[in-house]
Amino acid sequence: MKYLLKLSYCGTNYAGFQVQPNANTVQAELMRAAEKIFTVPCLVTGCSRTDSGVHAYEYYATVEVPCGGANISSEKLPRALASVLPPDISVMAAWHVADDFSVRRAVSGKEYVYTLWTKNYPNPFLADRAWHYTRPLNMEQMNEAAKFLLGKQDFAAFMASGSSITDTVRTITRCEAVADSDGTVKIYVAADGFLYNMVRIIVGTLVYVSEEKIKSEDIADILLSKDRKKAGKTAPAGGLYLNKVFINFER
């Protein structure tokens, strides 16, 4: 029996989604919770990795319950899991899916949003949930630079050094910075896939454009160089959220 879960979580207290040997993760918490309510060890598979400290407004995972596990309807599963999960992980909905359903293959793309808090005083409600950045941001130049990132391109220059990924071509369909009236700036990046630290490096690069350390038109040359050192710094993890997952429920 297999369920598909739609969930959200605050990643501050976790070393990312995927299980790690010496740190707590969202996947580990879901596995512990599933075993409690189904009374047997269950396999939990996420739609993607997220890094330590990164949050998710929307995330999908499957739970595989072996024979002998408790029979719980999909309608009752979110409430059952809520009774045993920590409060920073929430299951919003659940569905029965076919045994051969793969949540990773079902995902066609994702959208991340990065939050910056731009007032000159800290926001206690955004501690570990936004980059507190107090210098004026040149939104026009940042968005001009963001246009160079759109489309199918090699993003090797926007991948963390030391990554083992060899295919670094991705297609970005949205990249823009939006200022809210409350003092936050949000940077949206949607693509068919992401490299390690790709969004955080994009954010750091756009901030460098605002600081005039990089010109907006330099982005094209940075992409062609495939050199991580030519892009901006990696923005802090706490401001990054997985915002949307584009998923085909029939796959």
Q: The tokens of 155 are what?
A: 């993003």
What mean pLDDT is reported for the chain? 95
Q: Residue ranges per domain, the chain?
A: 2-101, 108-245
Q: The tokens of 233 are what?
A: 């710094």
- pLDDT band at residue 43 using 50, 70 and 90 as cut-offs: very high
| Long-range contacts, stretch 66-73, CB < 8 angstroms, 24+ apart | 66/40, 66/41, 66/42, 68/39, 68/40, 69/1, 69/38, 69/39, 69/40, 69/42, 70/37, 70/38, 70/39, 70/40, 71/1, 72/37, 72/38
- Give the E-state strand segments of 47-130 in sequence order: 55-64, 89-97, 107-117
pLDDT exceeds cutoff 90 at 218: yes
User: Is 51 a catalytic site residue?
Assistant: yes
User: pLDDT tens for residues 145-161?
Assistant: 999 999 999 999 999 98
- pLDDT band at residue 21 using 50, 70 and 90 as cut-offs: confident
Cβ(18)–Cβ(49) below 8 Å: yes
- pLDDT band at residue 251 using 50, 70 and 90 as cut-offs: low
pTM of the model: 0.94
pLDDT exceeds cutoff 70 at 92: yes
Class of CATH domain 2-101: alpha beta
Could you check whether 2-101 and 108-245 share the same CATH topology? yes
Helix/strand/coil for 205: helix
**108-245 is classed in which CATH architecture?**
2-Layer Sandwich (3.30)
pLDDT exceeds cutoff 80 at 250: no
Q: What b/e readout covers 212-241, taking b as 16+ CB neighbours within 10 angstroms?
A: eebebebbeebbeeeebebbbebbbbbbbb
Phi, psi of 82 (to 5 degrees): -60, -30
First-to-last C-alpha distance (Å) of the chain = 16
Q: How are beta strands 107-117 and 240-247 bridged, if at all?
A: antiparallel
Output the CA–CA distances (angstroms, integers) from residue 34 to 29, 72, 152, in the order listed: 9, 11, 39
Q: How many residues does the chain have?
A: 251
Cα–Cα distance, 103 to 123 (Å, whole number): 36
pLDDT exceeds cutoff 90 at 46: yes
Instruction: Look up residue 73 and give its amino acid.
Output: S
pLDDT exceeds cutoff 80 at 194: yes
- Report, as an integer, the average pLDDT of 113-125: 96
